[in-house]
Structure 1
Amino acid sequence: MHVLFTRPIDDSKDLILKFKSLGHIVSSIPVISIKKKEYSKIDFSSFKGIIFTSSNAIKFLDIKLLDKNIKCFCVGNATELLAKEKGFQNIFSAEGNVNNLKEIILQNFKSSEGKLLYISGETITFELDKFLISEGLNVKRVINYSSDPIEKFNEILIDDLKNNVPDIVYIYSQNSAISFKNLIKNYNLQNHWMNTNLMCISEKTSSVLNDIKWKKIFLFNPGEEEYLLYKI
């Protein structure tokens, strides 16, 4: 099958290699760019737990003064892997599902333990901090990166996309969906997707692209990409 990934290349490279090793044709057209945002100095000693809903949140966080034995809650496998590489010792992972993540946090962190630090991007699909606060936890959210749409693409890539329409497209965020939809409209690709399966990380994400005619739309959690190949 021909698979298209739309995340920044650093976030997709392991999956690209994996899918190629399985004999699939793989294309990569990143539709967003990730940029670091400046944030106020953090007194890490004030927190007894830390939450990451993206590996980018770890990449752009200065953790030299952070106790790596702190309870570390990660949304999925890629985030967990990077947390381990950075030296975190006490990791709880939700395997890619923010709904599972909130339950894991509630099961493993009590309000009596102290404050939680939530590191995230500027745009989030679920307001995890507000949910946890409503459950009685003390949470501070710090934004340390943004996801900016890419508006111009290499014409050779676009021509190749027109001539070799993917069987599967993976979309990982609402921002990515918006940017991918703009790509489709700006390059007159609206009628190319009737035999393509769209894989989206959430209903909010898929709703952006609902007016495009797809073969089928699936929802998935990061880490399930290979498994989904066998559902088609």
Structure 2
Amino acid sequence: MCLKILVTRPDADQKQTIGLLSGLGIEAVSSPVMEAIKLPFMLPDRASELPWQAMVVTSRNALRMLESEQLAQLRSVALYCVGAQTETLARSLGFDTIGETSPDVAHLTDRLLDLFSPDAGPILYLTAKHRSGKLAQALDVDGFDYTLIESYEMVALSSLTEEAVAAIQTKRLDGVLLYSSRTSQLLLTLFEKHDLADDMQHVTFYCLSDAVASPLKPTGYPLVVSAAPNEQSLLACVKKDHN
């Protein structure tokens, strides 16, 4: 019988994950728990000031929110990002210089502090309304001049898809892929809303990191944490469990 894995990523990110699962012979059950909503923002005019020494993004969503005129202003700025998929999107949008691609925010933060000087110019940081805040805090501590722009908000959806509910109720779901701690928290709320919490006891939750797994630990659900915080490693966990 074909494995069924719940994919909770936003619609814009689902296609690639579903394709990767299909390549492993696994059926994806789609049920995003959040969607990215663009927030109104303007880029500062730096014509008479020091140019940006770097632009920082930790998600593809930050790049997706840029208008064509804004992209034209920023393509020549060295981009530092999290994730190979973010780098791929940046290159497709015409960014000339990808300074470095890090596996997670913690690694990116360390690299920024190693590579740049507070005296060399400002840093542009495009991010979400909801975030950990650790990157900005580190820049503050080291005295960097930076501009933080909240370009989008991840908004919680109010329900699971009918397909997901049916798969859970009929015990046909084998696992769940989770990429953020907020997704984990929201998913628990949706399980309660649909009266599905008890039905998830046999389902394995594949988590991108310990932080992602943390909200689920009190539930007693089976948890598997990826060896590295990237999708390739996460899917390797699924494949290993079901070989």
TM-score normalised according to structure 1 size: 0.89
Query: What fraction of aligned residue pairs are identical, expressed as a percent?
Result: 22
Decide whether aligned partners of structure 1 residues 104 and 80 sit closer, same or farther in structure 2, where only a CA change above 3 A counts: same
Decide whether aligned partners of structure 1 residues 75 and 20 sit closer, same or farther in structure 2, where only a CA change above 3 A counts: same
Tell me if 1:31 matches 2:33. yes
Q: Give 1:150 shift.
A: 0.7
Tell me if 1:199 matches 2:202. no
> 2:145: which partner in 1?
138
> 2:56: which partner in 1?
51
CA distance in 2, matches of 1:166, 1:160: 5
Q: Give 1:169 shift.
A: 1.2
Decide whether aligned partners of structure 1 residues 4 and 157 sit closer, same or farther in structure 2, where only a CA change above 3 A counts: closer
Give a deviation string over 1:57-92, Cα, whole Å, max 9, x none: 010023334242311011111111111111112113
Higher helix proportion (structure 1 or 2): 2
Match of 1:221 among 190, 210, 229: 229
Q: Give 1:15 shift.
A: 1.7
1:140 aligns to what SS in structure 2?
Answer: strand
Pairs aligned (count) = 232
- Tell me how large the CA RMSD over aligned residues is: 2.1
One-letter amino acid of the counterpart of residue 66, structure 2: L
Q: Give 1:207 shift.
A: 2.4
Tell me if 1:69 matches 2:71. no
The answer as to whether partners of 2:204 and 2:222 remain within 8 angstroms in 1 is yes
Decide whether aligned partners of structure 1 residues 179 and 67 sit closer, same or farther in structure 2, where only a CA change above 3 A counts: closer
Decide whether aligned partners of structure 1 residues 65 and 167 sit closer, same or farther in structure 2, where only a CA change above 3 A counts: same
Match of 2:91 among 81, 84, 97: 84
Q: Give 1:164 shift.
A: 4.1
The answer as to whether partners of 1:50 and 1:71 remain within 8 angstroms in 2 is yes
> 1:112: which partner in 2?
119
Q: Give 1:190 shift.
A: 1.2
CA distance in 2, matches of 1:143, 1:124: 10
The answer as to whether partners of 2:53 and 2:77 remain within 8 angstroms in 1 is yes
CA distance in 1, matches of 2:139, 2:206: 28
Give a deviation string over 1:162-205, Cα, whole Å, max 9, x none: 22443321222233222211111011111223332222334443
One-letter amino acid of the counterpart of residue 222, structure 1: N
CA distance in 1, matches of 2:178, 2:171: 18
One-letter amino acid of the counterpart of residue 7, structure 1: R
One-letter amino acid of the counterpart of residue 54, structure 2: G
Unpaired stretches in structure 2, ≥5 consecutive residues: none
TM-score normalised according to structure 2 size: 0.86
Q: Give 1:154 shift.
A: 3.8
Match of 1:125 among 99, 124, 132: 132
Tell me if 1:170 matches 2:172. no
CA distance in 2, matches of 1:44, 1:206: 41
The answer as to whether partners of 2:75 and 2:94 remain within 8 angstroms in 1 is yes
CA distance in 1, matches of 2:239, 2:24: 12
The answer as to whether partners of 1:193 and 1:212 remain within 8 angstroms in 2 is no
